Amino acid sequence: MFRRIHHLGYAVRDAAAAAEFYRLRFGAAPGEPEPVEEQGIVAVMFPVGESRIELVQPTRPDSPVGKFLDKRGEGFHHVAFEVEDLDAALAELDSAGLDLIDRRPRVGAGGLRMAFIHPHDAFGVLTELVESGEHKE
């Protein structure tokens, strides 16, 4: 079902500083900061092979990522796997009794349809499924 790691999200206090670190030390090519108002974040991404690293900085302390930083500090936040058919995937997982944060897809960064699975049903890993149009006709 998983076609690739679409992206790996890091929670950071300062996305510009983190982007500069990866540019300077590892030759990464970060894009422009992208605000996602609904989630209270600004994201900076850079490609690594067929995947991306997403540096996620909260724009409000009460946003989910803001609360995450307060509780856990900087570090891994979520992983996103690309699936071909998000509706079918969610229906299957829902019928298997998994705790889905989003039982229906919503629209995330880059305008892609995505949904989160609760980490307590995925061995502590906040897992996103994303339906990317990139590989489709």
The least distance separating its own copies from the CB of residue 115, rounded to whole angstroms, comes to 14
Q: Give the contact letters, 40-79, x = binds to its own copies (CB under 8 A), - = no.
A: --------xxxx---x-----------------xxxx--x
Four-point Cα dihedral 66, 30, 112, 102, nearest 10? -20
C-beta closer to its own copies: residue 35 or 47: 47
Q: How far apart are CA 131 and CA 23, in angstroms?
A: 28
User: 107 or 125: whose CB is closer to its own copies?
Assistant: 125
Give the number of residues in contact with its own copies, rule: CB under 8 A: 36
Stretch that binds its own copies, among 2-10, 33-41, 59-67, 100-108 (CB under 8 A): 2-10
Tokens found for residue 134: 């990139």
Contact string (CB under 8 A) for its own copies, positions 4-33, x = contact: xx--x-xxx-----x--x---xxxx-----
Four-CA torsion 84, 86, 90, 93, nearest 10 degrees: 20
Q: Which is nearer to its own copies, 14 or 38 (CB)?
A: 14
Neighbours of 55 (CB within 10 A): 27
Written as six digits, the tokens of 92 are 């299957």
- Residue 60 one-letter amino acid: R
Decide: is 124 part of the binding site for its own copies (CB under 8 A). Answer: yes
Least Cα distance to 53 among 69, 35, 71, 29 occurs for 29
Helix (H) or strand (E) holding 66: helix 64-72
Binding site for its own copies (CB under 8 A): 1-5, 8, 10-12, 18, 21, 25-28, 48-51, 55, 73-76, 79, 81-82, 92-93, 96, 98, 119, 122-125
